[in-house]
Amino acid sequence: MYQDILLPTDGSDGAERVAEHAGSLARQYDATVHVLSIADTRNRFEGPTMGLGADAWEDAERERSQAAVEDTVAALPEDVSVDHTVDSGVPHAAILDYAETAGVDVIVMGTHGRTGIDHYLIGSVAERVVRQSPVPVLTVRIGDA
């Protein structure tokens, strides 16, 4: 049923919990887990008075993404087949593009369960992926509401 599982990660606290779910599915179906982290190219702090230039932002995002992938891969069971990628772009769009290109069968990702003003201001990558994904999405609640 599931041969390729996409596990997007941003390195948030609780990513290990999401990796447990993906690892369990991978073991059950002898599937490959594709660990993906996206370096967000939308620099919200760029500008003459904001302090971070585009190059500094992208470098920091790429480093964060690389660390997120490494930590998530380390949290998966050793007997699970793993591919890993760091890409860049707008997170939800890049996740959906990867899912289509790689032909994954399911996406397993964390959600913080934000509501109210936090949801409005920060948005939800998981929500956008769930709404637009052509394949099933398993969301794992992490963090506080």
Domain count, the chain: 1
Which domain covers residue 120, as residue numbers?
Answer: 4-141
Which pair of structure tokens corresponds to residue 65?
């993404």
Q: Looking at residue 9, which CATH number applies to its domain?
A: 3.40.50.620
* pLDDT score of 119 more than 50: no
* pLDDT score of 137 more than 60: yes
Quote the pTM value.
0.87
Q: With b meaning 16 or more CB within 10 Å and e meaning fewer, what string describes 115-129?
A: eeeeeeeeebbbebb
